[in-house]
Structures are given as C-alpha cells and as structure tokens.
C-alpha cells in the first residue's frame, strides 16, 4: 500500500495534499503504508520538484505526513527538511496568504499534529475552520464539533474542580509551601493520555497521583535532608500507616499525602475488581522514591554520576515512563489490562528505556533554562 495513494498525482497541488493526508491517516492507524509514491515528488536529479515549494496546503500536508517516519526512511526525512524550509519561506515572503493559513502553518511548525495533544489540536482546528467562513462547505458539522468540544470541556472543568477541592480539603498549599503549584499541570498531563468521558474516574485519580509524585520530587530535591528522605523512602517501602510515627516531623505530611491517595486508589480499584493494577502502581511509586533518594545522596555527597548511572539507571525511573504506565490504568475496569501487560512493561523494554531517556533529557534541558533565567533575573534585581 502506498503507490496507489499517488495514482492521480499529475502535478497539481490538490493531489499532493490528499495523497500526503491519506498516507498520514493510514500510518497513524498502524497500516504499513509504503513510501513508493513519494518518489513521484522528485525530479530526475533526485530533488523535490520546484513547483512543490509554492503549494501551501500540499507542503503543509507533506510536512505533517513526514513526521510519521520510521528509522531509515530517508525520503521522509528529506521531505520534512524540504517542507519545513519552504513553509518558513512562505511565511516570510508570501504576503498574499490568508491569516487563517498563516496561523495554520505557524501552529504546525510549532508542534506537528502527530506530536500534538489531541484536545489542543481539536481546539486549534475549530478556530481554523471557523475562520474559513463561506469557504467551509459543511457549517452544520462545524457546529456539532464545537458543541461536542464544549460539552466534553465541561466534564473536564468539573474534574479539575473536584481535584482542586480535594487539594484544599487537605490544606495542600499550607502543608507543602516548598512544593511547586502544579495542580492544573498534573491534570493536563493525564488529559493528554485520555480525554474521553468514560475515563473520568481514572483521570481524577491519576491527577492526584501526579500531584503526589511532583510533591515527592520537591520534598526529596529541595526540602528534606538525606537522612529525612532516607526515612521517608523507608516508610514508602511499607506504605503502612504505622510507619508514620517513625518519621521525622518534616516528612509526615508527605507520607500522609501518599497514604491518602493510594488508599483512595485501592478503594476505587476494589469496586472495579482491578486491585492488581494498584499493586503495580505502588511498586513503581516505590522505585521512583528510591531513585529520588539516590539523587539526593549524589547532591549531599557532591558526587557527579556517570552518564550510565544518571541517564540509564536512575533516568529510566525518574524519566517518568514506568510510573506513568504503571498508574495510567488505575480507576479502570479489570478487563482493560491484564497482569501479562504489566509484566511486559516491567521487563524494561527498549521502547520504555528510550522513552524515559528522552523524557529525562527534555526535562533537564527545560529545567536548566529555568535555572539560568532565574539566576539572571535575580542578578538583575540585585544590581538595579
């Protein structure tokens, strides 16, 4: 499958637009579409045909399709470079493109559809098609799409309100003044994984889990001494209320928060017959706590870990892939996932290791930029 997508390709931009769009949609759904048709886009010298650079919609479709490339598919890598270069050129030199198309190109260059959060992409698409006005052939479909989006968004608002009220009920801001306020961000993370109404319970529970994780991170990195964190991690290994009395006072709020959320998870899992899912979620949480303790130890002792230690051993856990996968099914029915699925995930496949390494590096790059910004901001405020 692949050559037939370009059967009617005769040099017209509309053909490129639809051919590349069909390629992308089929690839997204897992169909093994070949690359044979893309060779029609090149001239006898092996370069992409010149007229393609003037086809705005065709280039945009080619750009989006080229992102769904497997390793070694050079022609898609070349297509991505070609499309990116010419889309940027169009923005700079073509004064005749409409504002709607300009915004569409800007958005795609910022984040391609393949990498975009579904709800963000939906919101952008609604704006784009609304701007088409009379050019849009099916106004009723757009109206229903907006209605669907708004109705689902109302569900999400209710969930976020529930999480916010829970955080206030446990006096989170007072008990954890040193922790970053990431409540909305934590909810958005799980919204990126699944947004459908039927997963409402799972979203709320996972948002709380992420709040626990980020608060634990700040507790281990910015608040507790090595001895305090060591005691906290020892208690987390047990996840038993009786361990609370053995903790330093400064670690008790963090442990209470942990017990609060994981007790709620167990109760909900019992209703759905999926208690085995909680077992894996807890185990991944314990692994993360151990990894944070290790990082705290490096900092306390002034040690610089090797790349192997930091990125492969510690980074695999702190990158987030294991804990996200271990918790994502919390709050769902038992028939959605099996023990065998979790066993496979625990084998630390190349996919998991690579994904965690990428997450770890991206996180550190962003954090580094924030630290530099804060440093110069503070430095500037001191000199004025």
Q: Residue 326: pLDDT band by 50, 70, 90 thresholds?
A: confident
Q: Is the pLDDT of residue 46 over 60?
A: yes
pLDDT at position 384 is 40
pLDDT in tens, 159-170: 999 999 999 999
pLDDT in tens, 327-349: 888 888 777 888 888 777 777 77
- Rounded CA-CA distance 42/74 in Å is 13
Contacts of 314 (CB under 8 A, 6+ apart): 291, 294, 295, 305
pLDDT in tens, 98-114: 888 888 999 999 999 98
Q: How far is CA 7 from CA 54, 223, 276, 327, in A?
A: 21, 63, 51, 46
The DSSP code sequence of 161-226 is HHHHHHHHHTTHHHH-TTS---HHHHHHHHHHH---GGGHHHHHHHHHHHHHHHHHHHIIIII--H
* Mean pLDDT of the region 138-152: 91
Contact 262, 236 (CB under 8 A): no
pLDDT in tens, 282-322: 999 999 999 999 999 998 888 888 888 887 778 788 888 88
pLDDT at position 368 is 60
**What are 230's two structure tokens?**
């060591």
**pTM for this model (two decimals):** 0.84
Q: Is the pLDDT of residue 382 over 70?
A: no
- Rounded CA-CA distance 97/22 in Å is 24
Contacts of 269 (CB under 8 A, 6+ apart): 275, 277, 278, 330, 331
For residue 3, the 8-state DSSP code is G
Q: Residue 355: pLDDT band by 50, 70, 90 thresholds?
A: confident
pLDDT at position 63 is 96
Q: Is the pLDDT of residue 4 over 90?
A: no
pLDDT at position 303 is 87
N- to C-terminal Cα separation, the chain: 65
pLDDT at position 383 is 39
pLDDT at position 178 is 93
- 104 burial via Cβ count (<10 Å: 0-12, 13-18, 19+): buried
> Residue 362 CA to chain centroid, in angstroms?
11
Domains of the chain by start residue, with CATH: 3-116 (1.50.10.130), 141-383 (1.10.600.10)
* Mean pLDDT of the region 19-48: 89
């Amino acid at each position: 499958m692949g050559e037939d997508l370009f059967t009617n390709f005769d040099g017209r931009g509309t053909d490129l637009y639809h051919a590349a769009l069909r390629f992308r949609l089929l690839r997204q759904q897992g169909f093994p579409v070949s690359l044979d048709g893309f060779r029609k886009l090149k001239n006898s010298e092996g370069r992409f045909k010149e007229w393609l650079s003037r086809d705005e919609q065709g280039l945009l479709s080619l750009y989006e399709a080229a992102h769904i490339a497997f390793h070694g598919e050079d022609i898609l890598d070349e297509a991505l470079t070609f499309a990116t270069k010419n889309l940027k050129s169009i923005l700079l030199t073509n004064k005749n493109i409409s504002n709607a198309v300009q915004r569409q190109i800007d958005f795609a260059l910022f984040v391609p559809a393949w990498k975009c959060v579904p709800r963000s992409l939906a919101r952008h698409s609604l704006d784009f098609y609304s701007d088409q006005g009379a050019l849009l052939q099916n106004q009723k479909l757009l109206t229903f799409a907006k209605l669907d989006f708004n109705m689902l968004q109302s569900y999400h608002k209710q969930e976020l309100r529930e999480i916010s009220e829970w955080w206030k009920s446990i006096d989170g801001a007072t008990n954890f003044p040193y922790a970053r306020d990431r409540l909305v961000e934590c909810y958005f993370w799980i919204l990126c994984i699944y947004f459908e109404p039927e997963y409402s319970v799972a979203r709320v529970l996972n948002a709380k889990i992420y709040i626990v994780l980020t608060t634990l991170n700040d507790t281990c990195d910015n608040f507790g001494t090595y001895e305090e964190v060591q005691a906290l991690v020892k208690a987390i290994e047990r996840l038993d209320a009786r361990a609370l009395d053995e903790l330093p006072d400064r670690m008790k709020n963090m442990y209470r928060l942990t017990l609060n959320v994981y007790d709620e998870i167990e109760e909900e899992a019992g209703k759905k017959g999926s208690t085995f899912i909680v077992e894996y979620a807890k185990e991944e949480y314990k692994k993360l706590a151990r990894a944070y303790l290790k990082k705290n130890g490096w900092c306390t002792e002034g040690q610089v870990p090797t790349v192997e230690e930091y990125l492969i051993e510690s980074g695999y856990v702190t990158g987030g892939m294991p804990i996200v996968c271990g918790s994502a099914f919390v709050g769902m029915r038992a028939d959605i996932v099996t023990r065998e699925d979790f066993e496979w995930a625990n084998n630390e496949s190349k996919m998991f290791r690579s994904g965690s390494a990428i997450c770890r590096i991206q996180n550190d790059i962003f954090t580094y930029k924030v630290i530099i910004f804060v440093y110069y901001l503070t430095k500037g405020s001191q000199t004025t």
